[in-house]
């Protein structure tokens, strides 16, 4: 079966986005490899995450709108509820928008605990603890 190797995101300002992604992705076990130039490269136990600066008229384009065509959201599964809370604090502290603060989602699964945040360009991320049954 194929495995996801990397995820590539596009942002309007790679420097400003590094200030968000560095603390947020560090809480999820990623570290930035290399400098501040595009693309930012984050390595961890999961797929690589690449952050590119927008090109052409994409630079002046408005933020991504949730529900518009494109990536709906990316979900990270973590080992405990404390990791969800830590990712929430990191994202909020780095200027990310908290869409749904950490809470339980019994409609998804028993014990499902998650937070939903957006980066500076409106890309949405979920960080979830899903206990094993």
Is the N-terminal amide bond of 23 cis, ω within 30° of 0? no
Residue 61 falls within a domain, yes or no?
A: no
Which 3 state secondary structure label does DSSP give 24? Answer: helix
Residue 24: closest CA among 101, 100, 76: 76
Residue 97 falls within a domain, yes or no?
A: yes
Question: Digits of tens for pLDDT over the chain (133 positions)?
Answer: 888 899 999 998 999 999 999 999 999 999 999 888 889 999 999 999 999 988 877 566 777 888 887 789 999 999 999 999 999 999 999 999 999 999 999 999 999 999 999 999 999 999 999 998 5
Record the pTM: 0.90
Residue 26 falls within a domain, yes or no?
A: yes
Name the pairing type of β-strands 74-78 and 48-53: unpaired
Specify the CATH number for the domain of residue 12: 3.10.180.10
Which H helix or E strand runs over 76?
A: strand 74-78
- In which domain, by residue range, is 32 found? 6-56+72-129
CB 77 within 8 A of CB 89: no
Helix axis angle, 14-26 to 81-93, nearest 10°: 160
Residue 62 falls within a domain, yes or no?
A: no
Residue 64 falls within a domain, yes or no?
A: no
Residue 33 falls within a domain, yes or no?
A: yes
């Amino acid at each position: 079966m194929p495995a996801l190797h990397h995820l590539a995101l596009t942002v309007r300002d790679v420097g400003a986005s590094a200030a968000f992604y560095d603390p947020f992705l560090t809480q999820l076990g990623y570290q930035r490899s290399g400098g501040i130039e595009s693309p930012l490269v984050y390595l961890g136990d999961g797929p690589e995450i690449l952050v590119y600066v927008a090109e052409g008229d994409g630079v002046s384009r408005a933020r991504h709108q949730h529900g518009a065509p494109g990536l709906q959201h990316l979900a990270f599964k973590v080992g405990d509820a404390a990791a969800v809370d830590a990712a929430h604090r990191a994202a909020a502290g780095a200027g990310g928008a908290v869409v749904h603060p950490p809470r339980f989602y019994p409609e998804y699964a028993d014990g499902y605990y998650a937070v939903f945040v957006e980066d500076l360009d409106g890309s949405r991320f979920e960080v979830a603890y899903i206990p094993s049954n």
